[in-house]
Homo-oligomer: A and B are copies of this chain.
Amino acid sequence: MLAELITIGDEILIGQIIDSNSAWMATELNKIGIKVKQITSVSDDEQHILEALKNAQERVDIIIMTGGLGPTKDDITKKTLAQYFGTKDFVFHQPSYEIIERIFKKYKSPMLEVNRQQAMVPANCEVLLNEQGTAPGMLFRKENKVFISMPGVPYEMMNLMTEKVIPLLQSEFNLPAIYHQTILTAGVGESFLAEQIKDIEDALPPTIKLAYLPKLGSVRLRLSTVEHATDALKAEVQKYTDLIIDRIPDCWVAKEDIPIEKVILNLMEEKHLTLSVAESCTGGYISQLITQHPGCSAVFAGGGIVYSYEMKSRLLGVNPETLATFGAVSEETIMEMISGALKNFETDYAIAVSGIAGPDGGTAEKPVGTVWIAVANQHQTIAKKFSFGNKRQQNIERSAMAALNLLFRLLKEFDA
């Protein structure tokens, strides 16, 4: 089964927003065995939308449109859809109207005629009720192809996809139930992993495929069945999963598709452990990764953004002489930072990072990208020097990933 994603509206074409919706949809469709053949962004212009629909219909089986359905814009999109699917009649959709009314009541905004109009849909569409917003989802059929139109607001689209579109496509097209098993790794690159597990990958039966999915400094390995997953085939996937995990004991983190900081939070919450940070060059990046997850306060106490020398001494008790003699980016300083964090913040575990993110501040001895990272509990401290590249934001992100990986290793040794 092939799909095309079409986004409608100028926001993407003028570069005002990045098309993250399509990436999310492509991932979800892939999971149920639908391949995205093309992604197309067009303006909210009648001729252009008609042409895009016609071309897509020739290429694929399923066409999914997002956008072009705001209260001021939906007129042209909905009329164009009605025209393409051969109707001139619009009908009033009562359940959608009730949701629109409820939303306006909640935000105490006056409801205008344009808002009421959002409940009008082409007569030959099936409405996909949008519980989260004012624009109804719509489904059309033409020459055995399925066309779906959804609003472009990410959480409305995601809700419609998860609750309505995915189940509908699965039943409509009798798609095989694909079974996936993700292995999260950290600290190593794609080609290193490929080398380590080459013989296992070569031995995979044709019914199982392996994908390497790099994301934010860590690589996820995903084993998927290429046909309907019987219990026997699922067991086979698990067998290969275990073979891979046994081969890479130092870089696998979890058998789940969640980020490493969430793996750490889950592990630490279960064991009632607490965590603090002392961030210099990462400047809050690690903390915001952790605190984006609801419920992190059960584990995460907080910490210090110790950007200046003074803050390193004040919050962590780093000896000014250590800083003067060895510099902020040194083994001596990172050791005082990590012990200061453990002691002053009174947590079970701590992370400390100090490095030269760049673009300035590098020397011949300590070039940009030099980063010291330490993690510790009451029993053990691990401190390690890294040499990343010369790009500031990459150095910050790679430092964060490396720190989380070190913390995970220490946790595994003592508390997991």
A interface residues, Cβ below 8 angstroms from B: 12-20, 22-28, 30, 35-43, 48, 52, 55, 155, 213-215, 276-277, 279-288, 290-292, 294-297, 300-308, 310-311, 314-315, 344-346, 357-360, 391-393, 396
Task: Give this chain's copy count.
Answer: 2
**A310 near B305 (CB under 8 angstroms)?**
no
7 more A-B residue pairs beyond the given contacts A15-B26, A302-B306, with a C-beta to C-beta distance below 8 A:
A12-B22, A37-B43, A38-B43, A38-B48, A300-B307, A300-B308, A301-B307
Contact among B16, B23, B42, B55 for A19, CB-based, below 8 A = B23
Residue from B18, B214, B308 within 8 A of A297 (CB atoms) = B308
Q: Judging by beta carbons under 8 Å apart, are A27 and B15 in contact? A: yes
Q: Which residues of B contact A287 (CB under 8 A)?
A: 279, 283-284, 287-288, 305
Distance between Cα atoms of A357 and B13 in the complex (Å): 33
**Provided the pairs A40-B38, A287-B284, A302-B305 are in contact, do residues A314 and B213 lie with their beta carbons within 8 angstroms?**
no
Residue of B nearest to A394 (CB): B155
Can you list 27 A-B pairs, Cβ within 8 angstroms, ordered by A?
A12-B39, A13-B38, A13-B39, A15-B23, A15-B27, A16-B27, A18-B18, A18-B20, A19-B22, A19-B23, A19-B39, A38-B40, A38-B43, A38-B48, A40-B40, A40-B41, A276-B311, A279-B287, A283-B291, A283-B296, A284-B290, A284-B305, A288-B396, A291-B357, A294-B359, A302-B306, A311-B345
The docked-state distance in angstroms from the alpha carbon of A120 to that of B110 is 64
- Return the chain B residue nearest A26 by Cβ: B15
Across the A-B interface, give the 6 residue pairs with the lowest CB-CB distance, nearest first: A283-B291, A284-B287, A284-B284, A15-B26, A15-B27, A302-B307
Given that A284-B286, A305-B277 are known contacts, is A392 also in contact with B292, CB under 8 Å in the complex? yes
Which of B290, B295, B346, B396 touches A292 (beta carbons < 8 Å)?
B396
CB distance B13 to A27 under 8 Å? no
Which listed residue (B16, B308, B358, B391) contacts A155, Cβ 8 A? B391
Is there contact, CB below 8 Å, between A26 and B38? no
The minimal Cβ–Cβ distance linking A352 to chain B, given in whole angstroms, is 13
Complex CA gap A42/B37 in Å reads 7
Residues of B within 8 A of A17 (CB): 23
CA distance A141 to B25 in the complex (A): 35
Pairwise interchain contact B16-A18, C-beta atoms closer than 8 A: no
Q: Are B291 and A284 in contact (CB under 8 A)?
A: yes
User: In the complex, which residue of chain B has the Cβ closest to the Cβ of A38?
Assistant: B42
CB-nearest residue of chain B to A306: B302
Instruction: Give the most central of A213, A358, A391: most B CB within 10 Å.
Output: A213
Closest partner residue, chain B, to A7 (CB atom): B39
- A391 vs chain B, min Cβ distance (A): 7
Please give, as numbers and ranges, the residues of chain B lying within 8 Å of A19 by CB-CB distance: 18-19, 22-23, 39
Compute how far the CA of A161 lies from the CA of B280 in the bound complex, rounded to whole angstroms: 34
- With A283-B290, A301-B310 as known contacts, state yes or no: A27 contacts B39, CB within 8 Å: no
Which residue of chain B has its CB nearest to the CB of A304?
A: B304
**CA A303 to CA B308, docked complex, whole Å:** 10
- Contacts A30-B14, A30-B15, A41-B39 given; indicate if A304 touches B305 (C-beta within 8 A): yes
CB-defined contacts of A27 to chain B, threshold 8 Å: 14-16
Checking B288, B304, B357 against A302 with a beta-carbon cut-off of 8 angstroms, the contacting residue is B304
Question: Can you name the residue of chain B whose Cβ is closest to the Cβ of A293?
Answer: B392
